A = this chain, B = another copy of it.
């Protein structure tokens, strides 16, 4: 890790730099996978799964019996925890529902918005070392709340062709309508193009390795939309003299254990807190099973001493972190200054893990500086907001001249005429 004491603002640009992601190399592979899936459908998926995941899958779809059987192997404690997390996520995302507000902008000109679910959505859940059943909750819960009709989930099987029990359990609990054993870029291609077994969807969500990320970007060329662009996960912790070094260290490590490319930034206004946090990290990391990954991430991390919390937030706004932890006293007064962040954790007991799993907020958040121009996943991500308007004859009389003048000035005579022809009609004529 690198420690910077009171770096000048000119140096900040260097400190907020993200690692440059290599994309070009794999684009040919992705194009290839899409073209195979387009041509050969399920057969291509089976071949690609064998090639990339060493998985023999005779049947891509998973029967209800298989789901039931596999769910029985999930411990009661984990089931209870998943249920509680689901309840909290549901409660928070349900609060994001928008009520219809009819606005009379001009007398008898009524405008409003109504939300409609994206009818078909796809969720990708990676396999590998960490079976992210929590991400199933974060994506399927709002999809179900929004009223998506088809919620398709793809996740890679292990070498024996089985999927993770907790993923299956979370999927059936949260209303996933179809569950398929397929992973990688081929899963994204399948949900984009549709195959004999897997339906094509309108929007694809979920994390993945660089191939999955590249495939999601590529999918957009087919008119499919995606949750957001991706990058390595990040946390920025701001700690004043009232912070607890052991807690800060634990939070930084929980980010670092995600992978060697995880981004960790620690800013303190207190040198002693900064030093103690470094010391705590050295202690705590020894006990972690994923300590090698965490150490690689920490090697690239920045530990920065600044003068004030205000200055620290100024830095944070420039960096635009996915997760921002404000381990400071009187955090309330700093909230208005926060401009760019994915999700913010306030005070000494609001650890990132809470939001990652169970407090109710979504953990699918903008990384890589995208918090400057993207929101995290929410109920909004699963709906379109359609505008409606009803204008009465009288309403059009109130508004008509304005429209006519503007259309005329833009040289669009037919736009003008659509009003004129209506206004010309006699007042008392029934329509």
Contact = CB atoms under 8 A, between A and B. Distances in A.
Contact of A254 (B84, B339, B345, B417): B417
B106 A101 contact: no
The winner among A166, A254, A354 for most chain B CB atoms within 10 A is A354
Chain A, interface residues (CB within 8 Å), range? 35 or more
Nearest to A351: B418
A414 B294 contact: yes
A379 to B, nearest CB: 10
Contact of A359 (B96, B105, B372): B105
A211 interface: no
B111 A405 contact: no
Contacts of A87: 105
A116 to B, nearest CB: 5
The winner among A223, A294, A380 for most chain B CB atoms within 10 A is A223
A392 B130 contact: no
Interface in A173-223: 202-203, 220, 223
A67 to B, nearest CB: 18
A386 B341 contact: yes
A412 B343 contact: no
A361 to B, nearest CB: 4
B359 A78 contact: no
Contact of A105 (B88, B338, B391, B403): B88
Contacts of A403: 81, 353-354, 356-358
A393 B244 CA distance: 13
Query: Can you tell how many copies of this chain the complex includes?
Result: 2
A78 B372 contact: no
A95 interface: yes
A26 interface: no
Nearest to A166: B409
Contacts of A386: 338, 341-344, 371, 375-376
Nearest to A345: B389
A315 interface: no
A385 B378 contact: yes
Contacts of A109: 88, 354, 359-360
The winner among A224, A256, A284, A339 for most chain B CB atoms within 10 A is A339
A349 interface: yes
- Would you list the 9 A-B pairs with minimal beta carbon distance, nearest first? A105-B360, A88-B105, A250-B418, A81-B405, A257-B414, A254-B414, A361-B387, A202-B373, A253-B414
Given A223-B373, A345-B389, A346-B390, 16 more contacts: A78-B406, A87-B105, A91-B105, A92-B111, A109-B360, A131-B410, A223-B369, A225-B373, A257-B413, A288-B417, A343-B388, A351-B391, A351-B422, A359-B389, A375-B385, A376-B385
